[in-house]
Amino acid sequence: KRKLTATALTLKVGKTAYVHLQHSKKPVRYYSTAPYIASVSPFGKITGRRTGGAQLHVNGPTPCYRCKVTVVK
């Protein structure tokens, strides 16, 4: 069954974490609802940029998966 490695994350400003879709061999697309708070690379590397909250969306061959990201000081 496909699922994200995390559905909620808390990061400090300047720190990074990775999220990916398990059991998916097809390419997926990562994007953040607030890239100025938490940016995400094409490979799922999330970087906390400033305090606040954002949602990470992962689109692939299946429905959209979401991960809530909170960035703290």
Q: What is the pLDDT of residues 43-52, one digit of tens each?
A: 999 999 999 9
| Interatomic CA distance for residues 35 and 46, integer angstroms | 10
- Please give the order of strands across the beta sheet that includes 38-40: 16-18, 45-48, 38-40
Given the DSSP bridges, would you call strands 8-12 and 65-72 parallel, antiparallel or unpaired? parallel
Nearest-CA neighbor of 70 among 27, 25, 38, 30? 38
Tell whether the model's pLDDT for residue 63 goes beyond 90: no
Q: What is the pLDDT of residues 11-44, one digit of tens each?
A: 999 999 999 888 888 888 999 999 999 999 999 9
- pTM listed for this prediction: 0.86
Q: Which is it for the CA torsion 6, 58, 42, 48, positive or negative?
A: negative
